[in-house]
């Protein structure tokens, strides 16, 4: 391949640096506002850096709402969803990838279609179904709708496709049960796909605002994204506490950022792998 000329490389760097600065400005502004005093935020004399900062903001914001409960709810419900999905999706993906039976392509087609149905289009029926069994405002309501996942099946099926079929056939000839094949051959070879699904899913449900907003209605059942919107409604007394709002945003973002930095290659795999294969 022709080497890129110096001019080309420099101009590419310039564009990339400008784009990176634009991408980082919201992050910088979040941190800056989180540390600033409210008088600083509302200072009419504009200065992009911090004049005066106060670490106590974080402590004040943390104690202004029951954050430990929000985090417990968020993490526990997302974790339960991930666990359930890993089980149901692994079984289904195994069935689609390695077992031959009639009607399989119909099942797969339905799964592809189900993947596109957004919660916002079906939340009323789901709400009334769950409310008729008195599950609204419980972990059941937060978790049950996501136990089966079309996306999870799709992703794992792609991951399983790289396992050679000869291996499965050989094991069957040896008389291994389906359960044994799944446990000792497929799972050990599909670890990256499983980790990808777990991470993508955890982050997706941890970030989700819509369903928890609908499915819960008391403070002790709320999750972190819903709690963030509380800061918008405190307009009454002292005006919006912008610095505390940004502190809370940082609390919310931190777990996701940590997961992302440690598991970046799995996120990349998940995104690139579901789009184009082959």
Partner 1 sequence: MKKMAQNIEDVVADSASAGRVVPRRLPRIANRKQTAIAGFVLMAPSLVFIGLFVMVPIVYVVYLSLYKSNLLTPHPKFVFLQNYVQLFTDVDFLGSLKNSALLSGGMLFLSLPIGCLLAALLNMRLKGTKFYRTVFFAPYVLPLVGSGLVFTLLLDKDNGLVNHVLALVGVPPINWLGSSHTALLSVMLVSLWQYSGYYMLIFLAGLQNVPQSLVEACQVDGGGRLKSFIHVTLPNLTPTIFFCAVVCIIQSFQAFDQVYVMTDGGPNNASSTLTYYIFHKGFQMYDIGSSAAASVILLILLSILSLIQIRLGRRWVVEES
Report the site for partner 1 in 32-51 (rule: CB under 8 A): 33, 41-42, 44, 46, 48
Q: Is 143 among the residues that bind partner 1 (CB under 8 A)?
A: no
The two tokens of residue 1 are 């391949």
The two tokens of residue 53 are 């900062």
| 191-207 and 150-160 helices, crossing angle to 10° | 160
Closer to partner 1 at the Cβ: 59 or 258?
A: 258
Report the site for partner 1 in 119-138 (rule: CB under 8 A): 120-126, 128-129
Q: How far is the CB of 273 from partner 1 (least distance, A)?
A: 8
Q: Which of 100, 63, 94 is nearest to 186 (CA)?
A: 94
Q: How far is the CB of 148 from partner 1 (least distance, A)?
A: 3
Would you say 206 and 70 are in contact if contact means Cβ atoms under 8 Å apart?
no
Closer to partner 1 at the Cβ: 56 or 104?
A: 104
Tell me the C-alpha distance between 258 and 179, whole Å: 35
Cβ atoms within 10 Å, residue 253:
16
Report the site for partner 1 in 253-272 (rule: CB under 8 A): 253, 256-257, 259-261, 264, 267-268, 271-272
Closer to partner 1 at the Cβ: 18 or 59?
A: 18
Closer to partner 1 at the Cβ: 166 or 237?
A: 166
Report the site for partner 1 in 174-203 (rule: CB under 8 A): 174-175, 178, 185, 188-189, 203
Tell me the C-alpha distance between 269 and 157, whole Å: 14
Return the DSSP state at 175.
T
Closer to partner 1 at the Cβ: 69 or 119?
A: 119
Q: Is 44 helix (H, G, I), strand (E, B) or coil?
A: coil
């Amino acid at each position: 391949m022709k080497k890129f000329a110096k001019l080309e490389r420099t101009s590419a760097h310039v564009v990339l640096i400008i784009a990176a600065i634009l991408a980082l400005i919201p992050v910088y502004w979040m941190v800056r506002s989180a540390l600033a005093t409210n008088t600083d935020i509302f200072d009419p004399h504009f200065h992009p850096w911090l004049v005066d900062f106060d670490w106590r903001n974080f402590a004040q914001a943390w104690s202004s709402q029951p954050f430990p409960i929000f985090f417990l709810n968020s993490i526990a419900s997302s974790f339960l969803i991930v666990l359930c999905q890993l089980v149901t999706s692994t079984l289904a993906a195994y069935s689609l990838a390695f077992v031959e039976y009639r009607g399989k392509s119909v099942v797969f087609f339905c799964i592809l279609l189900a993947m596109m149905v957004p919660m916002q289009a079906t939340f009323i029926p789901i709400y009334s179904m769950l409310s008729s069994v008195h599950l609204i405002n419980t972990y059941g309501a937060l978790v049950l709708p996501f136990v089966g996942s079309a996306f999870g099946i799709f992703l794992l099926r792609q991951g399983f496709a790289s396992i050679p079929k000869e291996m499965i056939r050989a094991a069957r000839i040896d008389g291994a049960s389906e359960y044994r094949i799944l446990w000792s051959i497929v799972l050990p070879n599909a670890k990256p796909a499983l980790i990808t699904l777990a991470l993508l899913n955890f982050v997706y449900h941890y970030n989700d605002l819509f369903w928890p907003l609908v499915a819960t209605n008391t403070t002790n059942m709320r999750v972190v994204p819903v709690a963030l919107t509380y800061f918008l409604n405190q307009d009454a007394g002292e005006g919006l506490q912008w610095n505390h709002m940004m502190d809370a945003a940082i609390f919310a973002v931190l777990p996701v950022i940590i997961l992302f930095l440690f598991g970046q290659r799995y996120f990349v795999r998940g995104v690139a792998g579901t789009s184009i294969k082959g």
